[in-house]
Amino acid sequence: MSEQATIKTSAAAEPLLKVRELEKFFTLPGKGLLQRNGATVYAVNGISLDVHAGRTLGVVGESGCGKSTAGRTIMRLLEPTGGKIEFDGRDITRVKGESLRMLRRQMQMVFQDPKGSLNSRQTIGTILSAPFRIQKVTPPGGTRLAIQDLMDRVGLNPEHYNRYPHEFSGGQQQRIGVARAIALSPKLIVCDEPVSALDASIQAQVVNLLKDIQDETGVAYVFIAHDLAVVRHIADEVAVMYLGQIMERGPMDVVFNRPMHPYTHALLSAVPILDPAARSRERIVLSRDLPSPLAPPSGCVFRTRCPIAQDICAVEAPPVTEPEPGHLIACHFPSTTPPSTSALPMRVIHTSTQKTN
Amino acid sequence: MNTIVAPSLTTPSRKENEPLLTLDRLSVSFETPDGTVRAVNDVSFEVAHGETLAIVGESGSGKSVTGQAIMGLHRKTNGTVTGSVRFNGRELTTMSERELRHIRGNDIAMVFQDPLSAFHPYYTIGNQIIEAIRLHRPVSRRVARARAVEVLDFVGIPSPGTRVDEYPHQFSGGMRQRAMIAMAMVNEPKVLIADEPTTALDVTIQLQILNLMVQVQAELGTAMIMVTHDLGVVGEIADRVLIMYAGAVAEVGEVERVIAQPAHPYTAGLLGSLPRIDLPTQRRLEAIPGSPPSMLMPPPGCKFHPRCAFRSEEAGCFTTEPQLTPHAEGRSVRCFLPLTPKTTARDTQEPSRDV
């Protein structure tokens, strides 16, 4: 997909999914009998996203950045604390009961753990009939035929209709998860780390399957993953999350080729590269670990690990700038130049240990 | 900082060209209620002084079991180990447990994937490192403790003087892995076996740890065996790579050459299925059809033939198991029809339906 086309599409139509200032906080149990006044985890802290019909938004970030919570909140598996979710032109932030159930026809989810997301006591046939049963949909030709067609579409042998999940390999179990998600032809599928539990050769099969289904049906994906190479392969747009907030988002080619947030620079430079010729490249080694989402840093949440942080970063939350249409950066000092490694608090290993011979 | 020189058990110096560690036809099998699992079959390789060898494979390929077998970790399990592991001219597989204990953690050390379960939760990090030192060195607790603080400082633990008295759960994942590396390097081993040391870590932390391991290696001149499923990690730090499939070595050679010109169809398939962040084009991933075989009932002939696009009846892929044979440029390949630049360019078959 050319970059120009990407920008054109995002500018043209109204997005299928529009998330604005979404918040999801969790309150931990406090001390005392009533366990009140516990600490608050700011898991998702004011994120805004657009997903267009038939396209893929990749959401990347390290563990604890809130990407999975964001996915679950968008799916309305979790109650949003604040903000707004619009799907297909409709506000779904607070929908309940029957209308929420109806919404699930349009929005589905694929989970990380293929085994854990399938009921081990049910046959594949029963598992795949659930969407039809719950939504009271009778497909033309009957449910059984529809299920066998689904199995065929995801590359499973339809004759294995009566088998149980444990009789399938991890890759095949994930195919079952995908089949269940596409059963009712939803407009959006939230994929939460759908391939990270799979081996490389199997991972490629599932990535290709997801792409084929998108080409076939025009479904949109929110693809949540920590593996930047996979996301780059499948996504049209990407959002980089850190500690519950979006640091940078925009068209894939723009964000990955010309990143402007120091965190995106660091994240991309940390990805191990297969070609040994790339060993000499400059890498940005971030110091320390992620701060706790219980007490996010003041101002910019990334400042404690940021190589170019200044005094203002501790005081003011960074403004969101849009240097080109659709490319948004939350940073006081955005730049296409990677932060210089020499300016980093990178650890210089001293040699105090002497070897004896 | 004061230098604490721990007396090292010096081994007679050997010729540089003699391999430090040699595995010869090592096999490991386990008895299970469902039958015998032949986890590792006839694995042979050498590791030279200061070299980094990466062992790569998917889950169940036998890569971790190989690493554990070198350390003699299957003695207390129901695993049956055959073949030979020679370290510095000494045979490890027949060595008494008593003798082996002098080598474990001293000459050959190990870093595990999950440091939370590799550390004992009831003892402080410091106590565990002190134990590792005093097991092999006749030094006082006080000296050992100072040495523990020193190595924790070396691996980048902030305020090591305080953190030495903390428990494993008080460390973050990245810090625990640093402490694990500190414990492994404290006796200045000749060989460091790292089993997926960065798999559980985030990418920015992974970079810190890989950086650290390279620094430790440069500092101590240690040879390293890096067991991993991540070819990116191989590309970053290994000199040579050994590709395992279904318990056997598919291919071994220098990283540059194996990546530029894979000779085994499985290696080629693995490389083709890898999404690349460093290449500009959005090609379709060339997935390997099917899934790895069950080690309870491996297929006859070449274990990769059911998934291989280049299999041939005439060559014997269906019936005869190929042996690891020398290939061009110091490489070895277990394949009747190793790939050449011509065959690699040939379009592979469309992935067939699995199941």
Contact B273/A203, CB-based, under 8 Å? yes
- For an interface test with A, give the residue of B294, B352, B354 to mutate (most A CBs within 10 A): B354
Question: What residue ranges do the domains of chain B occupy?
Answer: 21-238, 243-277+285-345
**Residues of chain A contacting B233 with CB distance shorter than 8 Å:** 272
Q: Which of B6, B274, B278 lies closest to A278 in CB terms?
A: B278
What is the arithmetic mean of pLDDT over B150-174? 92
pLDDT, position B20: 95
| In-domain check, residue A285 | yes
Length of chain A: 357
The kind and range of the H/E element at B91 are: strand B90-91
Chain A residue closest to B278 (CA)? A273
Contact A274/B271, CB-based, under 8 Å? yes
Contact A204/B208, CB-based, under 8 Å? no
Contact A356/B5, CB-based, under 8 Å? yes
A88 is written with which tokens?
A: 């297909």
pLDDT band at B283 (very low <50, low <70, confident <90, very high): confident
**What is the radius of gyration, based on Cα positions, of chain B?**
21
pLDDT band at B342 (very low <50, low <70, confident <90, very high): low
Q: How far apart are CA B189 and CA B193, in angstroms?
A: 10
pLDDT, position A120: 93
pLDDT, position B131: 95
| In-domain check, residue A240 | yes
Domain that holds residue A65: 3-106+186-338
Cα separations in angstroms, A349 against A356, B81, B223: 19, 40, 19
CATH of B21-238, one of 3.90.600.10, 3.30.420.40, 3.40.50.300, 2.60.120.10: 3.40.50.300
CATH number at residue A44: 3.40.50.300
Q: Which stretch of A132-136, A239-243, B160-164, B295-299 has the lowest confidence by average pLDDT?
A: B295-299
> With 50 as the cut, is the pLDDT of residue B4 above it?
no
| In-domain check, residue A281 | yes
pLDDT, position A224: 96
pLDDT, position A25: 95
Is the distance from CB of A156 to CB of A209 less than 8 angstroms? Answer: no
Taking the CA of residue A186 and the nearest CA in chain B, the distance in Å comes to 24
Biggest CA pair distance of chain A? 80
> With 60 as the cut, is the pLDDT of residue B284 above it?
yes
- A vs B: CB pairs below 8 A: 173
Backbone angles phi, psi at A82, to 5 degrees: -160, 175
pLDDT-flagged residues of chain A (< 50): 1-11, 342-357
| In-domain check, residue A314 | yes
Crossing angle, helix A143-153 and helix A170-182, to 10 degrees?
Answer: 130
| In-domain check, residue A8 | yes
Q: Could you report the per-residue pLDDT of B228-253, keeping only the tens digit for each?
A: 999 999 999 999 999 999 999 999 99
pLDDT, position B17: 61
Cα separations in angstroms, B352 against A338, A356, B245, B355: 44, 59, 20, 10
pLDDT, position B204: 87
Is the distance from CB of B272 to CB of A207 less than 8 angstroms? Answer: no
**Residues of chain A contacting B292 with CB distance shorter than 8 Å:** 199
| In-domain check, residue A50 | yes
| In-domain check, residue A144 | no
- Helices marked H in chain B: 63-70, 97-103, 115-118, 125-136, 141-154, 160-163, 173-185, 203-220, 231-237, 255-260, 265-272, 341-345
Please count the structural domains in chain A: 1
- For an interface test with B, give the residue of A148, A201, A264, A306 to mutate (most B CBs within 10 A): A201
Cα separations in angstroms, A43 against A26, A67, A317, B10: 7, 9, 17, 53
What is the arithmetic mean of pLDDT over B141-165? 94
Taking the CA of residue A55 and the nearest CA in chain B, the distance in Å comes to 15
Contact A201/B210, CB-based, under 8 Å? no
Q: Could you report the per-residue pLDDT of B76-115, keeping only the tens digit for each?
A: 778 899 999 999 999 999 999 999 999 999 999 999 888 7
The ipTM of this complex is: 0.82
**Residues of chain A contacting B351 with CB distance shorter than 8 Å:** 205, 208
The identity of residue A350, as a single letter, is: H
Contact B202/A160, CB-based, under 8 Å? no
| In-domain check, residue A96 | yes
Is the distance from CB of B235 to CB of B255 less than 8 angstroms? Answer: yes
**Residues of chain A contacting B2 with CB distance shorter than 8 Å:** 352
Looking at every residue in chain B, the average pLDDT score rounds to: 88
